[in-house]
Structure formats: C-alpha cells, structure tokens
Amino acid sequence: MRSGEGKPAVRLVAGLGNPGREYAFTRHNAGFWFLDALASKVGAAFRSESKFQGQLGKAEGNLRLLKPMTYMNLSGRCVSAAARFFTIAPAEILVVHDELDLLPGDAKMKFGGGVAGHNGLKDISAQLGTKDFWRLRIGIGHPRDSSIPQQDVADYVLAPPTVADGKTIAAAVERALDAWPAIAAGEFERAMLLLHTKEK
C-alpha cells in the first residue's frame, strides 16, 4: 500500500522503552506510552512473541504495533526480526521514541536522519542497515534545561518526569494520537503540520 503522497504507508509502528515495572513511568518509556495509547485507539491487543523478542498487536488491515522487550539498547533485534517476518520495508516503519532535544510537550515526526546518540535508534539503524525509516519523537527535555542541569543523561532518562513535565508529555502523546489518522492515511505532511503546531 502506498500513501497519497507517493510514499509507502506505515505498516509497523514500534514504540521504544524498557520492559519491567521499575521502568514503566520513566522518561525513556515515552515510546511505550504512545504505543499503549495507540493500541487502545485502534483496538489492538498485545501478545508476547518470542520469535521477535517483543509484544505484538495487530490492528485493522496490515498494521502491526510492536514493543521490543529486549531493553532499549537492543531494540533493533526485535524491530528487524518483525520487519523480516512480515516483509516490511524500512520506509514502512514508524519508530516512536523519547527525544532529549525536544522540550516536554513537543512532538515531531521526520524521515531518516541521524540518531542523536539514542541507543535504541542506533541499534535499529544497525540492524536494518539504514537510517531511512520514520521517527515520531516525543520530547522529554534535557537535564541541562531542567532544575538539575548537572544530572547525568542516563539517570535523567531512567527517572520519572516531574508532575509538570508528565502532564506536558501526556499532552504531546495526545496530540500525536490526534495526528494518527493522517499518518495511517499516508498523509505525512499533514501529520507533521498537526504535530508541530501546538495550541497557544
């Protein structure tokens, strides 16, 4: 299936995070937060799939939702295994992840580009052999912009957001859900406009 813009439509949405109760509410799990919300929206139920080392949900049509259970740094194992099994091209994959370089409340979408030190993206790029896949970036902010600028980045992403930041991140997830119909229709320019335009 191809989008109305002449680009392949998204067939696999992979939300990144770390499995386990201790990580459930940490900033690094923003991709899981979006995927859980999307699964509820499209009526998909996750089940464990050992051959992918992840949890898989199937929505209407040929759309599949995937949560790697490999821990963040090995996300590519799960994503590449599912892509091979279902014969999904990299350009048909949307990876949803936390983004340090965006403020909490921001959500942006792009195709390809660098991985900006994100280990999940780095492994997916390595396993797929390309950086040419879609990314939905959920802003979590950077410790340098927080009240504790000296905090180590690894400690920051593996900690829960403040109450205020949690609310703005949740709002960004909701805005991304509002853009989902455009993404699903392959109307990527419209989806990006919806994501990048916040209400005043």
Output the CA–CA distances (angstroms, integers) from residue 23 to 28, 32, 53, 62, in the order listed.
Answer: 8, 10, 18, 30
Cβ(86)–Cβ(64) below 8 Å: yes
Count CA atoms within 13 Å of residue 128 on its CB side: 28
List the catalytic residue out of 28, 118, 142, 196.
28
* CA 59 centroid distance within chain: 17
Question: 28 catalytic, yes or no?
Answer: yes
* CA 92 centroid distance within chain: 14
- Cα angle 169-24-22, degrees, rounded to a multiple of 5: 135
Residues with a catalytic annotation lie at: 28
